[in-house]
Structure 1
Amino acid sequence: MPAETLVKSRMLPHLHLLAKAPLAGQAKTRLAPLLGIEGAANAHAELLRHCVATACTALPAEHVTLWTALDHEHPLFIELRDQFGLVLNAQPDGDLGARVRYALNSTPGPAMLMGSDCPSITSTLITTCAEKLASYHVVILPAEDGGYGFIGTQQDYPTLFEDIPWGTKSVLTTTRQRIEALGLNADYPATIWDVDRPEDWQRWKALETP
């Protein structure tokens, strides 16, 4: 690799992905009324494959880490590691905020994190966020449900993830208030949506239909 390319590569933010193993009854259970328990797990696996492929299109695989949960040696995780060359790490204990903060601070320099169920996040959007992170302390992609599906930070901001009402419509509002209280500047390049409910799955499938 030419020296100039290597320098540019080292300047890229690292991207962290959080994902459960696609175990029936433990992954995407809110899709079960439409797809059944096994179908919901298979849907989760499909979303994860899509997410990883998108991430590794936007960034070199060495800048992508997949944080695993439930079954760290699940065949899907091994498949993705071998196919794309990304790093696998086990998610630590703690609430979502603690796990997000831990992942973001596990690599040096600016870092970004996204869930595995946001097919509306494209590789172009990830690249845009990476570029924005050079000028902003925080970059967030708000979700239509009041949360967010992607966050990037220049460094560690502990209170950004403490006592957040995860899983509610107040996540983004509370996070914005923390950003303001910390005196940080933030950018919100686009609003995205994730796949939690049957109608979300149908929305994504409709987009895939030619």
Structure 2
Amino acid sequence: MSWPMPEGAVLGIFGKQPEPGKVKTRLAAEFGDDFAAEAHEAMLLDTLEAWGTDRYLAPGGRRVFVFSPEGAGPWFDRVVPRGLAMQAQAAGDLGARLQAFFEGEFAEGASRVVVIGSDSPTLDPSIVISAFLCLDQKDVVIGPSTDGGYYLIGSRVPVPSLFQGIDWSTAGVLGQTLDRLRGSGRSLAVLPPWYDVDTPDDWRSLGAHVRAMRLSGMDPALRRVEALLPRVLPAPGAPPR
């Protein structure tokens, strides 16, 4: 059963056009630029399909895909579900882009804003829904990722300091964000940790997770990701490479 988003709630999904050599460079170090771009595209489109349809969310609120680079709109027009609005990311580093999105949504009347990316395709949808519910009581909600960053961030009030002076793409992102929050006086809710897929080992972990879901009788609902897994991972029962 789909969850009805409250009026004024906004789910933002940040994503980048899958261009070889410009995405998933750590994955590409072992599997090559072309496969890394295909993996990025598969995770992104599976994520957009999940949240841009009524699979998890009933009509209500606002769902928006926030893309980069700015000129990629025509490419995404062909593949983004109609249930998602689209807008280009602002200029600057990730912090500046996140801050601009949050401030823009609050200026338009949003009551709570939650942002996810496409690097955690197996993310339990109940966690995202919990993020919105946490914002009934708390000012900020964060989902820590196992690499030292976060896979989700949300707030019910503007907190610009959350995104300023952060060493992005490092293991210090979460700690630095918490330092900024401590100085803001805003309250915090914390979600269960999850994993991003950035490295070859992450991809192998994703493959094992998807296989485990299938074996348990669960449908991962990741048709593009599942189609790619056999390309670089050993078949079930085969010896490790």
Please report the TM-score for the alignment, with normalisation by the length of structure 2.
0.77
Counterpart residue identity of residue 17, structure 2: A
Which of these two proteins has the greater Rg computed from alpha carbons? 2
Residue identity over aligned pairs, in percent, reads 30
Whole-angstrom distance in 2 between the partners of 1:103 and 1:137: 17
Q: C-alpha displacement at 1:101, in angstroms?
A: 1.1
Whole-angstrom distance in 2 between the partners of 1:60 and 1:67: 20
Whole-angstrom distance in 2 between the partners of 1:30 and 1:74: 27
Q: Choose from 85, 91, 94 the match for 1:93.
A: 91
Q: C-alpha displacement at 1:85, in angstroms?
A: 2.4
Counterpart residue identity of residue 72, structure 2: H
Pairing 1:150–2:152 present: yes
- Whether the aligned pair in 1 keeps the contact of 2:73 and 2:88 (CA below 8 Å) is no
Specify the alignment match of 2:224 in structure 1: none
Counterpart residue identity of residue 64, structure 1: R
Pairing 1:30–2:29 present: no
Specify the alignment match of 2:102 in structure 1: 104
Q: C-alpha displacement at 1:54, in angstroms?
A: 3.1
- Residues 1:123 and 1:54: Cα distance change in structure 2 (over 3 Å): farther
* Count of matched residue pairs: 201
Whole-angstrom distance in 2 between the partners of 1:9 and 1:128: 11
Whole-angstrom distance in 2 between the partners of 1:112 and 1:162: 18
- Whether the aligned pair in 2 keeps the contact of 1:105 and 1:155 (CA below 8 Å) is no
Q: C-alpha displacement at 1:125, in angstroms?
A: 1.0
- Residues 1:92 and 1:139: Cα distance change in structure 2 (over 3 Å): same
Relative to its length, the structure with more helix (as a share) is 1
Specify the alignment match of 2:165 in structure 1: 163
Q: C-alpha displacement at 1:191, in angstroms?
A: 0.3
Pairing 1:203–2:201 present: no
Q: Secondary structure at the match of 1:11?
A: coil
Q: Secondary structure at the match of 2:152?
A: strand
- Whether the aligned pair in 2 keeps the contact of 1:21 and 1:74 (CA below 8 Å) is no
- Whether the aligned pair in 2 keeps the contact of 1:105 and 1:111 (CA below 8 Å) is no
Q: Choose from 171, 175, 178 the match for 1:176.
A: 178
Counterpart residue identity of residue 92, structure 1: A
- Whether the aligned pair in 2 keeps the contact of 1:120 and 1:194 (CA below 8 Å) is no
Specify the alignment match of 2:77 in structure 1: 78
Specify the alignment match of 1:4 in structure 2: none
Counterpart residue identity of residue 63, structure 1: R
Specify the alignment match of 2:124 in structure 1: 122
Q: C-alpha displacement at 1:146, in angstroms?
A: 0.9
- Whether the aligned pair in 2 keeps the contact of 1:58 and 1:126 (CA below 8 Å) is no
Q: Secondary structure at the match of 1:72?
A: helix
Q: C-alpha displacement at 1:122, in angstroms?
A: 2.0
Q: C-alpha displacement at 1:129, in angstroms?
A: 0.8
Counterpart residue identity of residue 98, structure 1: A
Q: Choose from 17, 21, 26 the match for 1:21.
A: 17
Structure 2: give runs of 5+ residues left out of the alignment: 215-241
Q: C-alpha displacement at 1:59, in angstroms?
A: 3.0
Q: Secondary structure at the match of 1:190?
A: coil
Q: C-alpha displacement at 1:169, in angstroms?
A: 1.3
Q: C-alpha displacement at 1:120, in angstroms?
A: 3.7
Pairing 1:63–2:62 present: yes
Q: C-alpha displacement at 1:9, in angstroms?
A: 4.7
Pairing 1:194–2:223 present: no
